[in-house]
């Protein structure tokens, strides 16, 4: 068999070619149809996903935004009390400042509007009474008076205080112009009708009789004096009768009324003692019905008035 015959045997016939072509065409068409179906399915899925993804994204954005907004609102809500507190604190500070300024202004106005008018009267302490350096309880206490102590008043202030003879002040409401009724009756010491003054080597013993009848009371101004300066920095405590001054015993008087060496009784003793004093001294300013009592510190006592009895 020749090659030509062999090639002729291998050449397909017309029917085989048609069948093969038909089969190939069917395969191609099926393949194309499958591709088309897959393409349609893919496009449909993409469309579905394309339509749903924005909604999901928007929902996710809204969901994410909501906590953020909630956090912002919460932060704003948390900040409001602080702002309110700060505003309240500022308001309170302002009110406090205004109140303080108002009180300061009022206090200044009160101090500058206090006036005094002359008013002369003898009053008495109704209780233990503070004597102050100014007309108000905010002033320093100079000393204290006992119930019944007499106070010589020279002026009255518009806020209810008496000004004393020495320039100090006492509250009006703790005083009365009615003299105490429980004043003890003076009891004379067991002495003779004449009283002999104490004497020293510098004084001659004399006998002095008071010109005022014994037992007769005289209203006298009571003043106070202390050690007298000698001019060289030292102080003298010697009396005109030659004795040495002693607080609670020595007093100066007008010798024409209460002679030197006489004993007197001062009602409601200003020094809180038994009320008995000896006239051992005198002075140029001690004239008339004045009793000048010796004290170690005269700044601690105010001028007053008492009834004095000659013994």
pLDDT for 55-102, tens place per residue?
Answer: 444 444 455 445 445 444 444 445 454 445 454 554 555 555 555 555
Q: Which domain-ending residue is among 78, 96, 111?
A: 111
Residue 78: inside a domain, yes or no?
yes
pLDDT at residue 225 is higher than 60: yes
pLDDT at residue 259 is higher than 80: yes
Q: Which domain-ending residue is among 111, 127, 154?
A: 111
pLDDT at residue 294 is higher than 80: yes
User: Can you give the pLDDT at residue 44?
Assistant: 61
164 and 202, same domain (yes or no): no
Name the domain count of the chain.
3
The whole domain housing 48 covers: 3-111
Alpha-carbon distances of 219 from 167, 267, 269, rounded to whole Å: 22, 10, 13
CATH number for 168 = 2.30.30.40
38 and 64, same domain (yes or no): yes
Residue (of 130, 124, 152) closest to 303 by Cα position: 152
What is the pTM (predicted TM-score) of this model?
Answer: 0.39
140-199 tens-digit pLDDT: 998 888 888 888 889 999 999 999 978 899 999 999 988 877 555 555 554 444 444 443
User: Can you give the pLDDT at residue 296?
Assistant: 94
Residue 15: inside a domain, yes or no?
yes
pLDDT at residue 4 is higher than 90: no
Residue 187: inside a domain, yes or no?
no
Contact 302, 255 (CB under 8 A): no
Q: What is the mean pLDDT of the chain?
A: 75
pLDDT at residue 133 is higher than 80: yes
For residues 249 and 299, give the distance between their C-alpha atoms in angstroms, rounded to a whole number: 18
């Amino acid at each position: 068999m020749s090659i030509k015959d062999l090639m002729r045997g291998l050449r397909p016939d017309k029917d085989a070619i048609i069948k093969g072509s038909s089969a190939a065409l069917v395969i191609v068409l099926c393949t194309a149809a499958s591709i088309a179906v897959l393409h349609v399915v893919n496009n449909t899925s993409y469309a579905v996903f394309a339509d749903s993804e924005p909604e999901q994204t928007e929902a996710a954005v809204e969901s994410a935004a909501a906590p953020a907004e909630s956090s912002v609102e919460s932060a704003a809500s948390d900040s409001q009390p602080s702002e309110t507190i700060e505003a309240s604190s500022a308001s309170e500070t302002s009110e406090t400042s205004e109140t303080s300024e108002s009180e300061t202004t009022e206090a200044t106005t009160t101090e500058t509007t206090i006036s005094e008018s002359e008013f002369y009267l003898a009053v008495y302490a109704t209780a233990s009474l503070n004597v102050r350096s100014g007309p108000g309880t905010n002033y320093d206490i100079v000393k204290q008076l006992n119930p019944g102590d007499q106070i010589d008043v020279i002026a009255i202030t518009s806020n209810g205080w008496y000004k004393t003879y020495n320039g100090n002040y006492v509250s009006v409401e703790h005083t009365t112009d009615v003299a105490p009724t429980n004043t003890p009756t003076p009891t004379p010491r067991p002495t003779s009708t004449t009283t002999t003054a104490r004497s020293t080597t510098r004084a001659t013993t004399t006998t002095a009789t008071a010109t005022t009848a014994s037992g007769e009371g005289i209203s006298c101004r009571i003043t106070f004096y202390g050690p007298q300066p000698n001019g060289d920095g030292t102080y003298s405590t010697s009396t005109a009768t030659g004795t040495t001054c002693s607080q609670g015993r020595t007093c100066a008087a007008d010798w024409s009324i209460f002679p030197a060496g006489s004993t007197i009784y001062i009602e409601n003793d200003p020094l809180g003692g038994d009320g008995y004093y000896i006239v051992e001294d005198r002075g140029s300013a001690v004239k008339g019905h004045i009793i000048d009592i010796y004290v170690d510190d005269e700044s601690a006592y105010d001028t007053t008035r008492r009834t004095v009895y000659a013994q």
